[in-house]
Amino acid sequence: MHIHILGICGTFMGGIAMIARQAGFKVTGSDQNVYPPMSTELTNAGIELIEGFDPAQLDIGADLFIVGNVMKRGMPVIERLLNEHLPYVSGPQWLEEHYLVHKKVLAVAGTHGKTTTSSMLAWILDKCGLNPGFLIGGIPRNFGISARNTDSEYFVIEADEYDCAFFDKRSKFVHYHPQVLIMNNLEYDHADIFDSVRDIQKQFHHLIRTIPGEGQIVMPARDRNLEEVVQMGLWSHLKRVGDAAWLHALKKKSDGSSFEVRRGDTSLGEVNFECTGDYNVQNALMAIETAAAVGITEHSAIQALGSFKLPKRRMELIGEKNGVRVYDDFAHHPTAIAATIHGLREHLDPQDKLIAVFEPRSNTMKMGAIRQALAPALQEADEIFVFAGPGVNWEVEALSGESAKPLKVTRDFEELQRLVVNAATPGSSILVMSNGSFNGVHRKLLERL
């Protein structure tokens, strides 16, 4: 079968392309921006890439066209696709019908922590000999790739609540039909497609409706929004994590890099790993509990986490110059921003200066939908710089007056670099947070330092 993917170079669609190719399908694809590293990875896999969305590419002879959610009505290639009645599906639907139907799916959903928790779970399964396939919305450093096909019955997938395509506005994850589901947390996000938390809760409950009765759901013990979801109806086994009566942790180090895992009053072992932050303690507990659902002992999971490496762009140390460290993190929601800053603060010496650099780049942040929570989320940093790039359509400068810490907003990228470098002193840590490339600011700061 020959599939052609419109919008192939995003992490999700590129991952589908890699899995399909490894599974024996002929794969071609196109995108507006074809550039490394994704273009290199796809080309090396034998996937022909077309730059741009010229309608002529539909003559390529594909049996089926997979349409990414970057594609919109009005684009000439989409109008030709529809007018000529060519066969098409969304990426999640193709994955469900042609691949996941043959697997035991372990899915990780939630507003925060999906990539890290999926990576932890895949690594545990791998270290314990189950050789899982996976599709993760980032690059797990233990594997070096975001997606792989294996002959294992197990498949780990990051279950995103964003919509599928212009013709399918359901969340991607309703197509995955997992046997075991992690719901890490639930908050308001994706203001471009959801009007309220209630809208997101409905999508999460659509997902719950697909879990088999003998399947399992793992969620935190105290999350009001998730509790409201399960109260809508629950037909599967439920495990709560983080309560003293269930699987929980006792921290050995304040930064969360060492903690004892307990089930009730019974100690199961101690995790010592490179991660920091209470959120990564919870991510680890979720992964341990889910691994137990497929027969992996807590002891084995704990041992595996000792060699776990955080995915790229999750508290990743980019470099150090003249005593100043530059970190990169994907945090872009106020809750994640606050948790990330707190995790790094706990890891640093008390006298070390922590400089936060943030780019409001997600659609939710560009719209200013949860802007009232942004300044408070940044307050554990000693000095804060916010870059308001193109498309940010609210008065970001107002944050300066809402912050108890020095906070500077700039719309000039060169000025941003100067301000940050001037603020840095030996022993400082610069934490850059964005869900985009941020114009490569991390490397540019190191060069200026």
Q: Mean pLDDT across the chain, nearest whole number?
A: 91
Q: What tokens appear for 51 in the block?
A: 């730059």
Model confidence pLDDT, tens digit, residues 367-388 = 777 788 888 889 989 999 999 8
Rounded-to-integer distance, Cα 92 and Cα 171, Å: 9
Predicted TM-score (pTM) of the model is 0.86
- pLDDT of 36 reads 67
Each residue's pLDDT tens digit, 150-204: 999 999 999 999 899 999 999 999 999 999 999 999 988 787 778 899 999 999 9
E strand or H helix at 99, and its extent?
A: none
H-helix segments, 261-333? 278-292, 298-305
Question: Among residues 299, 427, 289, which one has the least CA distance to residue 351?
Answer: 427
Residue 386 CA to residue 433 CA, distance in Å, equals 10
C-alpha distance across the termini of the chain, in Å: 52
CB atoms within 10 A of CB 342: 19
Q: What tokens does 152 get?
A: 């294992």
Closest by alpha carbon to 65, among 18, 108, 128, 8? 8
Instruction: Please count the other Cβ atoms lying within 10 Å of the Cβ belonging to residue 447.
Output: 12
- Identify which of 362, 338, 306, 302 has the alpha carbon closest to the alpha carbon of residue 431: 338
All domains of the chain, ordered by start, with CATH?
Answer: 2-90 (3.40.50.720), 99-305 (3.40.1190.10), 316-448 (3.90.190.20)
Q: In whole angstroms, give the CA distance from residue 207 to residue 110.
A: 12
Does position 431 have pLDDT exceeding 70, yes or no? yes
pLDDT at 315: 77
**446 confidence band (pLDDT: 50, 70, 90):** confident
**DSSP 8-state class, residue 258:** E
Residue 386: φ, ψ to 5°? -120, 125
| Between residues 53 and 331, the one the model is more confident about | 53
Cα 442 from chain centre = 20
Pairwise CA distance, residues 127 & 129, whole Å: 5
Tokens matching residue 28: 């071609």
The answer to whether 303 and 312 are in contact (CB under 8 A) is no
217-237 pLDDT, tens digit per residue, is 999 998 999 999 999 999 999
CA 101 to chain centre: 23
pLDDT in tens, 138-156: 889 899 888 999 999 999 9
For residue 436, the model assigns a pLDDT of 78
CB 161 within 8 A of CB 139: no
CA distance 88 to 65: 5
How many whole angstroms separate alpha carbon 252 and alpha carbon 261? Answer: 10
| CA 179 centroid distance within chain | 21
Looking at residue 250, its amino acid is L
Banded pLDDT at 123 (limits 50, 70, 90) = very high
The answer to whether the beta carbons of residues 416 and 441 sit under 8 Å apart is yes
Mean pLDDT for 53-60 is: 96
266-305 pLDDT, tens digit each: 999 999 998 888 889 999 999 999 999 999 999 999 999 9
Q: Rg of the chain's alpha carbons, rounded to an integer?
A: 22
Q: What distance in Å separates the CA atoms of residue 322 and residue 77, rounded to the nearest whole number?
A: 51
Give the residue from 209, 275, 282 showing the smallest Cα distance to 246.
282
How high is the pLDDT of residue 133? 96
3-state secondary structure of 262: strand
Percent of the chain with pLDDT over 90: 59
**% of the chain exceeding 70 in pLDDT:** 99
Q: Name the 3-class secondary structure at 158.
A: strand
Reduced to 3 DSSP states, what percent helix, strand and coil does the chain have, rounded to the nearest 5? 35, 25, 40
Q: Which of 86-90, 339-343, 355-359 has the lowest mean pLDDT?
A: 339-343
Report the pLDDT value the prediction gives residue 350, as an integer from 0 to 100: 83
| CB contact set of 19 (below 8 Å; sequence gap of 6+) | 95, 99, 133, 135, 147, 148, 149
Instruction: Report the C-alpha gap between 8 and 31 in whole angstroms.
Output: 6
Among 225, 233, 126, 125, CA closest to 184? 225
